[in-house]
Structure 1
């Protein structure tokens, strides 16, 4: 790309940004930079000083550095490291400590000298922290300063634990954590209430002294804060914007994290585009929303005045473009998610034939099916399709401990009422009660308690599926092993999970597969479940003829919704259908009132789903289409 054109394309960006197809390739590039620094410093007899980060973001970087050490002989004997932060108070032996994190994920696998490792001490007496922080910074200066500082970014815009309100010249210090930061850490601590409220962190001023700074970010959940950090005005409300003061900073992203940058999200504002149907649809919806006019009322002047002159010049007049996009949106709307029998399906999202389809809905947790597509599920059943639901995991992590005792007490009383011996059950109950009274935050439950929690969620899933009209024989519990293995093993093998999924697919031979495409699930279960289904379908596609007639649809709902321009099937719901969906969700009593892990959305799941469905319908109406009570949205995924 000519330099002038690239500068025009990135003119909204106030920091240097490199975008890679995925986090693995991005991490490999950063690891190469680190390797080169170490090799160069070694050649002149000097030590390399690295500032390191924790969290999910640097994990693939550390994996690559370990690989380079083992396979390429990269040595860390002359490397000194300083970590950004640590929770306070925090014992170094705690599972949640950054001392444990760094040793588990890097230091225990390379030849770094332990005396060269520095991580803030979370065991100090509070009155000693200020002096400790001054000594921490003095030590960095004494070894020559940081050659490279690795950063992640939190959704509050924090780097290190420099939360909103931090000053650009701040030094290392004790800070109070933002509520969103604590919510994001809730799973590691077994609930937000167990997350420390404070932390020790390097300051912004300390970070800016590094000779080179690389901030990394992956996934769509970081895209909005990356846009603010890279394109926004410098502000203490987004501490990462202070990096704009330095010319030594590079932002390294995967394509999802970069998706809201202007050059990717709204490219017509910064360059001439090669217009295709999808980009035109996105641009026209953006224009309609921006100036708050229905699509069919947009004029040539509206296009010209809002950076879209190229489109209206090449493919106009505006009326023709408007009609094209309006019709495309209209054709996504269907009351027949399994296809309308005996009808022309050339302009419909689903096929008319076969009239009765086998529909297989994969649900990562035992409630994602009704939360995300409960209305569509009920409609598929009502319209005569052979609907199956496959619950991929037990979901036992997300059950309150108090519910375990309540259900066990019920079981004891029930057995007594029918004259059954309750000695063994009472013994288990006593052990359970004792364990729970002494349970530490995020401590893994014994097998007996995990089972009770799984049984609770299984019974709720049965109740909800039956309420939706699904036959018991069509309700399947896969209990994919990765879910429980992941509680004790990092990145467990998924091969057994794929084989189990292939087996259910071969048994049903579905015409339609629905699976969760909501990858903002804070626990990461949704993306793993999606990848398992996708790999299973790809393998079967090479040897099973029925896969040629199988379509894969993604749904969302529990954590966010599809953007309007991405939707390929929108199923409208009447007020009565909204109520039926809500009642199906209510069958999941353990998730009512307040789920164990709500993420950063405090609303109950039924309310999230209801309001998001109504917002989808409202967005269609504001574009000039029919005004429905609610809509569930789907995107087709090509796996063939």
Structure 2
């Protein structure tokens, strides 16, 4: 452990998380199951520092970050201020960065963000808040940056710096190429950084191309640094940062030079670290069934062999001699793993009536099951599990589709205007109403929240598209449920926290249908995203309803979104698709016309959703084939959730 770390408040909390220093890791890090737990611990360290400084009559100088990563930290600090009397009167803050140009009142500005999430809710003196100014002219920026650096030094330097990390490896807005000795300055944003921000700005074209940021040297001058990393999307860059060589191409690797830095991660963000992904390369393992399957599938990929062709030498050469000793021989282990994987494949996702279900992923009985497919947005059902959806209907199950949110913010203004103008031109009794809506859309200002009438129109567009797809799949309209969960209906990118109101709506549907199967989006790429909130609402509903007798017969299957698939060792049910079913799934996705051709929340992946879905399903089938199983056109994968 590096010198200085023994003084960190995080170290005494370490038993709550998971940390094992290995030869691969060059930065101290700790991982937690949930980001909320981790955020509370980081907030506690900050609170302890504030109180300690106050007790000694000194100011506490904090470097603060923005973005989704620190939101829960700020929420916990606000709670401690309100409920525990934590005072911020002795605190001086310096924010890392700000977009340029950017008005302070703009909802996308970091000035707005910090006041919305922290400053408006605590007793920090206004003169103690320092945020880079996005309203400066080009000529004013350099002197401002020099003064910003001087002010940090004048108050004794940063006692604590909170960081997030971008997928380019940036800290602050120090993009690849940033120098070790860089100070506060103007910088041009990387395309990937702008693409990741596109959702918040309602499109890539609206994201500023420049920003003002503290430099690497400024960050490294802090006495204590804590970097937050949440979600699978950050896993690869975190592995490169923690285990890779120091390089300007990944600016966060400069933190390896700091002697009091801790990375605080959730399990998804830590998933690519060697000690997590391939622990047999680190040391002795507890060879659980899951870890064994993970290791065997990894070995197949590493050697380019099928399961049944692996040899004793393959295992021994790749750090698995202890696993081989437990199993007796490669032959026995290979047969066991091959059978395990083969038993995940089924063309009967609802169970095959009258068949022996001992080695099948789903029960044979009841032959006709009641099924709820929960879809966070009005197209996730067909994008993520359209083939399985089709099979369930075709095989006679009572399939209910539950669209958890309206998805209205993902409908572009141009798409909504088209519908409003068509309706206005129809000349019916609502002609004036739709003309008004059309004018509201035309006169909309940048970042303005849609009026309720516009939101309703956008929601109706997505609702009708969904009905087109469900009718195409043969689901009666009365089995299609539009939940419009309240947490989503803010009209903006920022959503409300989930509440019992959301859970109650899901409770009512489940208690009415009394399902034998529930399908839910288990996409953990963004722990603060709509998919995760929708999943948490379902999990809370299941917890509240689990004592009901009908829940004893309910199995829950998780599917993934358009970007990622489960790892091979996680898959418990794989549903093959024929070429005809792949085409049918594509047609169902096409009913969601508002989400085609340059959808707003596309990110850096320029493929349309139907292409992403098909590519992912084909890749899953190819992985099964590479492991020695039968060849299919495509496969959809699921993991069972035990509640």
TM-score (norm 2): 0.94
1:548-578 CA distance string (max 9 Å, x none):
0010001113231111111000000011110
Q: State the partner residue of 1:341.
A: 353
Alignment of 1:132-531 (within 5 A): 132-413=144-425, 415-416=426-427, 420-421=428-429, 424-425=430-431, 427-485=432-490, 487=492, 491-520=496-525, 524-531=529-536
Q: Secondary structure at the match of 1:30?
A: helix
Deviates more, 1:31-40 or 1:132-141: 31-40
1:605-632 CA distance string (max 9 Å, x none):
1000000000000011001111110000
Question: Quick one: distance in 1 between partners of 2:641 and 2:26?
Answer: 35
Q: State the partner residue of 1:78.
A: 90
> RMSD of the alignment, in Å?
1.8
Question: Quick one: distance in 1 between partners of 2:96 and 2:285?
Answer: 42
Q: Give yes or no for the alignment of 1:588 onto 2:592.
A: yes
Q: State the partner residue of 2:554.
A: 550
Structure 1 position 254, deviation (Å): 1.9
Question: 559, 574, 577: which is aligned to 2:578?
Answer: 574
1:43-71 CA distance string (max 9 Å, x none):
33322211111111111111222222223
1:52-103 CA distance string (max 9 Å, x none):
1111111111122222222333222122111100110111111111111111
Structure 1 position 337, deviation (Å): 0.5
Please tell me whether the aligned partners of residues 450 and 491 of structure 2 are also in contact (alpha carbons under 8 angstroms).
no
Q: State the partner residue of 2:606.
A: 602
CA distance 1:346–1:394, change in 2 (3 Å)? same
Question: Quick one: distance in 1 between partners of 2:120 and 2:195?
Answer: 29
Question: Quick one: distance in 1 between partners of 2:543 and 2:304?
Answer: 43
Question: Quick one: distance in 2 between partners of 1:488 and 1:239?
Answer: 29
Question: Quick one: distance in 2 between partners of 1:523 and 1:465?
Answer: 29
Structure 1 position 431, deviation (Å): 2.6
Q: State the partner residue of 1:66.
A: 78
Structure 1 position 486, deviation (Å): 7.0
Structure 1 position 32, deviation (Å): 2.5
Question: Quick one: distance in 2 between partners of 1:73 and 1:100?
Answer: 25
CA distance 1:634–1:111, change in 2 (3 Å)? same
1:245-269 CA distance string (max 9 Å, x none):
2212111112222122111111111
Please tell me whether the aligned partners of residues 8 and 270 of structure 1 are also in contact (alpha carbons under 8 angstroms).
no
Q: Secondary structure at the match of 2:200?
A: helix
1:95-124 CA distance string (max 9 Å, x none):
111111111211122221111111101111
Structure 1 position 185, deviation (Å): 1.6
Please tell me whether the aligned partners of residues 522 and 599 of structure 1 are also in contact (alpha carbons under 8 angstroms).
no
Question: Quick one: distance in 1 between partners of 2:231 and 2:472?
Answer: 36
Question: 55, 59, 73: which is aligned to 1:47?
Answer: 59
Question: Quick one: distance in 2 between partners of 1:229 and 1:208?
Answer: 15
Q: Secondary structure at the match of 1:632?
A: strand
Please tell me whether the aligned partners of residues 420 and 438 of structure 2 are also in contact (alpha carbons under 8 angstroms).
no
Q: State the partner residue of 1:109.
A: 121
Question: Quick one: distance in 2 between partners of 1:354 and 1:408?
Answer: 47
1:263-286 CA distance string (max 9 Å, x none):
111111112111111110000000
Question: 16, 25, 30: which is aligned to 2:37?
Answer: 25
Please tell me whether the aligned partners of residues 576 and 635 of structure 2 are also in contact (alpha carbons under 8 angstroms).
yes
Please tell me whether the aligned partners of residues 485 and 492 of structure 1 are also in contact (alpha carbons under 8 angstroms).
no
* Unaligned segments of structure 1, at least 5 residues: none
CA distance 1:44–1:500, change in 2 (3 Å)? closer
Structure 1 position 521, deviation (Å): 5.8
Q: State the partner residue of 1:128.
A: 140
Q: Give yes or no for the alignment of 1:612 onto 2:616.
A: yes
Question: Quick one: distance in 2 between partners of 1:394 and 1:368?
Answer: 12
